[in-house]
Chain A
Amino acid sequence: EVQLVESGGDLVKPGGSLRLSCAASGFTFSNAWMSWVRQAPGKGLEWVGRIKSKTDGGTTDYAAHVKGRFTLSRDDSKNMLYLQMNSLKTEDTAVYYCTTDVGGDWLEHWGQGTLVTVSS
Chain B
Amino acid sequence: AQKVTQAQTEISVVEKEDVTLDCVYETRDTTYYLFWYKQPPSGELVFLIRRNSFDEQNEISGRYSWNFQKSTSSFNFTITASQVVDSAVYFCALSDLLVVGRDDKIIFGKGTRLHILP
Query: Do A and B come together as binding partners?
Result: no
Q: Which residues of A contact B (CB under 8 A)?
A: none
Q: Contact residues of B with A, CB < 8 Å?
A: none
